[in-house]
Amino acid sequence: MRKTGCLTDVEEKVTFVPGDIREITKLSEVVDNERIECIVHTAAIPLEAKCKENPEAAFNVNVVGTFNVAEVARRKSLRLINMSSQAVYGNLHERDLTSIREDEPLPPPKGVYPAQKLMGETLVTCYRNVFGVDAVSLRPNWVYGPFQATIENPISMILKKARKGEPFILDTGGDHRLAYTYVKDLANATFLAYKTNRLGTSVLNIDSGQFVSIKEVVEIIRNLYPEAKIRVGSGLWPELMKQAPLRGPADLSRAKTELGYDPKYPVQIGIKEYAEWLESMPKVT
């Protein structure tokens, strides 16, 4: 058991075992030694720029790693919860920004990362359909909140600048709309997927159920930090488009029916709680 000085009481009960998602023998040993009954697969190289920089390394983690997890779940008869991404939707419904259902035909992948996440999903669905593995893939979107450090999203970027008293200036981007997922909503969805009897579907959308603009995010943060120097112009955010094309929001009706999923953290609450958590952490100069 490992302590880092900033772990909560719950996290102190977690056993950390060093390893590599690409090592199937090690994964199998951990399952046996720790008496695992469900695998929650979150390992990934999630940043599109990193995937483009070294697509082979990204493939070995994002695709081969997912195969390894699915194969171990098959061998050990374990439930598998695979963390996918709404990035697989690409620019679906970018013109009318209407809701996206899980069963809609997908456009060709717009990047290396979404292509690899889709490959991982396909593997998990295959193992479910062919081998009977009790598996589901969750599709969250722009996850933010305490301990979320895999990728900088608009909320964390603007919030951290405001907290440090640093300016955040964008000529364009205020009208860019996104759906976000607070870490606690995602954790709850994962728990529900673990506790619910075998699900009737292989893929579920998960997020806050809101589709908000950068301007709205800015106003929430400005209310928390009135002195913050934030200015964002109208239009779309060009740099953001490189990571994720504009698309419609996710339809959550399937997750609500299958899991009883009911997001509790709209951005107004999630950002406030995240800001309070950041304030409790030592400031790094």
What confidence tens digit (pLDDT) does each residue in 165-215 have?
A: 999 999 999 999 999 999 999 999 999 999 998 899 999 999 999 999 999
Amino acid residing at 12: E
Give the global pTM.
0.92
Residue 249 phi/psi, 5° resolution? Answer: -75, 165
Instruction: Determine contact, residues 180/212, Cβ cutoff 8 Å.
Output: yes
Residues 6+ apart with CB under 8 A from 17: 30, 34
Which tokens go with 133? 């593995």
One pLDDT digit (tens) per residue for the chain, 285 residues:
233 334 445 556 788 899 999 999 999 999 999 989 999 999 999 889 899 999 999 999 999 999 999 999 999 999 999 999 999 999 999 999 999 999 999 999 989 999 999 999 999 999 999 999 999 999 999 999 998 766 678 999 999 999 999 999 999 999 999 999 999 999 999 999 999 988 999 999 999 999 999 999 999 999 999 999 999 999 999 888 887 889 999 999 999 999 999 999 999 999 999 999 999 877 654
Amino acid residing at 13: K
The CA distance from 198 to 215, in Å, is: 41
Taken in order of first residue, the domains within the chain and their CATH numbers are: 11-280 (3.40.50.720)
Amino acid residing at 214: I
Residues 6+ apart with CB under 8 A from 52: 111, 112
Instruction: Determine contact, residues 43/36, Cβ cutoff 8 Å.
Output: no
The CA distance from 232 to 226, in Å, is: 15
Residues 6+ apart with CB under 8 A from 174: 213, 214, 215, 218, 232, 233, 234, 235
Instruction: Determine contact, residues 194/150, Cβ cutoff 8 Å.
Output: no
